[in-house]
């Protein structure tokens, strides 16, 4: 049984201040010397970068749609191992989940799976007495969701605070914090949300410090810590990459694996924490024995993973799974590095913002040629969303790698949502018929949208094929979480050995 103290930070709707409060709490608790485990509900890649800055530990996602409800607890325990407290930032409104799927993947769903108390962040900027009705409604909607406190955000004055507190006296939910309006904690946004930490490192550090100071000054940290300690014990075991890749744990390894992953992130010069995860260290095998994740004593193969400001989207578990499967994971920056790491046997190019850096990516001709040569050799290349754009012939008229006979451009239309998909054919990542859940999030268009051998048949919200499979290349718009289908990492690494 595990009882890591934990809080879920939720809100009635998006834009209420969850990220400010959650990130500020992480920073404030860390400043007090606590080891804080940061988590984000849903598929979002950007908020965890701010969480990493605030806590000093890699931010991790908890997505009951992508990974299944059964993995939420184990993945949480994996990330929070050894921590004093965990802070989980919710997604959208407290009860908003996957469209048409009821509570699935909502913040409320994850809070119940974690047996964690919820702190409701309320934007109080345009209300006074009505706040009591709002909080009462959210606290009573689902008896299994325990709203243990409220933090009032964007409070205008002492008088406004007094009115809000008086109104909430009858709601039965304690006020655990009051935050005044503060422009200095605002973080810039653009077409897909907040600007990632890796693109504004110094400014992001300053913003996170300001969030921490504001929360420290305006919130009852002792009361919040006490609430976190009231979380129920979890009976599941912590997820472990080596264990899920053990042969006994994976009887269907060749019958059901999925696709592409993203890459490194959070900060600037220091090595990306995603490639030195804080969970259990890989076990040292006895002398002469093969490393974890290998059936026989083969050398590790080098897998290059794109990172830097242009490719900041990644789930930490992907690098952990690749390592457990027998890969040496090496990060590189397509904006700066003119060659792939020496000895690269496979390449992962994840999500991010290549459209913002298209000119710089195009100008790095030596790397573009190296990527194209690797793809022509038949080596496995997993490209996801931003990686798909980078492999195209051109992006907004600028030359890219030319691996795919397709062009990409920015679009006014936002494509966003969970997807239900099936692998159309065999690839370096999946065998034909593999079913998985994924997430799509972009404002770009690739023409054509699929190749002669598509990567996926998308079954919802509408039926279509998308993506490209050619030689060892698997390129798609779909984001997936490999913890849901860990065999994909073994399959990818084995293709690196044999290609």
**Which residues belong to the active site?**
385
**Alpha-carbon separation of residue 148 from 3, 58, 116 (angstroms):** 17, 27, 9
Given the structure tokens 């005044």, which residue do they identify?
A: 180
Q: Return the H-helix or E-strand segment holding 119.
A: strand 118-123
188 CB neighbour count, 10 Å cutoff: 11
**How open is the CA angle 401-406-407, to the nearest 5 degrees?**
80
Cα Rg, the chain, nearest whole Å:
23
Residue 425 in tokens:
């054919």
Given the structure tokens 């689902």, which residue do they identify?
A: 142
Burial class of residue 205 in the structure, from the number of CB atoms within 10 Å of its CB (0-12 exposed, 13-18 middle, 19+ buried): middle
**Alpha-carbon separation of residue 237 from 74, 75, 79, 114, 483 (angstroms):** 6, 9, 12, 13, 15
Q: Output the CA torsion sign for 320, 322, 324, 326.
A: negative
Q: How many CA atoms lie within 13 Å of 455's alpha carbon, on the beta-carbon side?
A: 31
Phi, psi of 476 (to 5 degrees): -160, 160
Distance CA 185, CA 192 (A): 19
Distance CA 174, CA 151 (A): 9
Phi, psi of 446 (to 5 degrees): -110, 130
Helix and strand numbers, DSSP H then E, in the chain: 14, 21
User: Using an 8 Å Cβ cutoff, are 37 and 79 in contact?
Assistant: yes
Q: Chain centroid to CA 213: how far?
A: 26
Complete edge-to-edge strand list for the sheet that includes strand 118-123: 60-62, 36-41, 85-89, 6-10, 118-123, 147-155, 175-180
Residue 367 in tokens:
């790397």
**Alpha-carbon separation of residue 55 from 35, 91, 315, 418 (angstroms):** 8, 19, 17, 29
Burial class of residue 360 in the structure, from the number of CB atoms within 10 Å of its CB (0-12 exposed, 13-18 middle, 19+ buried): middle
């Amino acid at each position: 049984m595990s009882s890591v103290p934990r809080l879920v930070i939720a809100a009635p709707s998006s834009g209420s201040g969850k990220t400010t409060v959650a990130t500020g709490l992480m920073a404030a608790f860390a400043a007090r010397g606590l080891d804080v485990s940061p988590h984000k509900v849903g598929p979002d890649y950007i908020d965890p970068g701010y969480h990493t800055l605030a806590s000093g530990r890699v931010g991790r996602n908890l997505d009951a749609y992508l990974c299944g409800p059964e993995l939420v607890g184990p993945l949480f325990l994996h990330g929070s191992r050894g921590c004093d407290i965990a802070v989980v930032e919710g997604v959208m409104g407290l009860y908003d989940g996957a469209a048409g799927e009821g509570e699935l993947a909502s913040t409320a769903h994850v809070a119940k799976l974690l047996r964690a108390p919820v702190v409701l962040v309320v934007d109080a900027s345009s209300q006074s007495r009505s706040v009591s009705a709002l909080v009462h409604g959210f606290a009573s909607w689902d008896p299994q969701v325990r709203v243990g406190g409220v933090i009032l955000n964007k409070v205008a004055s002492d008088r406004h605070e007094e009115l809000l507190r008086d109104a909430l006296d009858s709601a039965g939910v304690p006020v655990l914090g009051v935050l005044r309006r503060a422009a200095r904690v605002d973080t810039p946004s653009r077409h897909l949300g907040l600007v990632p930490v890796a693109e504004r490192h110094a400014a992001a550090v300053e913003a996170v410090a300001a969030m921490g100071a504001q929360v420290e000054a305006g919130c009852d940290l002792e009361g919040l810590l006490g609430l976190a300690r009231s979380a129920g014990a979890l009976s599941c075991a912590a997820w472990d990459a080596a264990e899920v890749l053990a042969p006994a744990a994976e009887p269907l390894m060749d019958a059901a694996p999925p696709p592409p992953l993203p890459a490194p992130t959070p900060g600037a010069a220091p090595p990306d924490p995603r490639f030195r995860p804080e969970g259990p260290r890989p076990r040292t095998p006895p002398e002469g024995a093969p490393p974890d994740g290998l059936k026989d004593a083969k050398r590790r193969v080098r897998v290059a993973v794109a990172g830097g400001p242009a490719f900041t989207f990644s789930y930490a578990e992907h690098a952990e799974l690749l390592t457990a499967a027998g890969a040496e994971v090496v990060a590189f920056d397509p904006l700066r590095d003119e060659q792939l790491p020496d000895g690269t046997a496979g390449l992962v190019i994840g999500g991010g913002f290549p459209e913002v850096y298209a000119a710089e990516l195009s100008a790095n001709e030596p790397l573009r040629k190296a990527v194209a040569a690797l793809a022509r050799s038949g080596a496995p290349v997993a490209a996801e969303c931003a990686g798909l754009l980078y492999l195209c012939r051109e992006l907004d008229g600028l030359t890219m790698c030319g691996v795919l006979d397709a062009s990409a451009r920015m679009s006014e239309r936002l494509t966003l949502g969970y997807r239900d998909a099936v692998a159309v054919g065999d690839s370096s990542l999946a065998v034909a018929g593999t079913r998985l859940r994924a997430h799509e999030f972009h404002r770009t268009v690739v023409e054509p949208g699929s190749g002669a051998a598509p990567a996926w048949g998308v079954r919802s919200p509408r039926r279509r094929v998308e993506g490209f499979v050619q030689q060892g290349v698997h390129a798609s718009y779909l984001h997936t979480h490999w913890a849901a289908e860990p065999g994909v990492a073994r399959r990818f690494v084995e293709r690196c050995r044999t290609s």
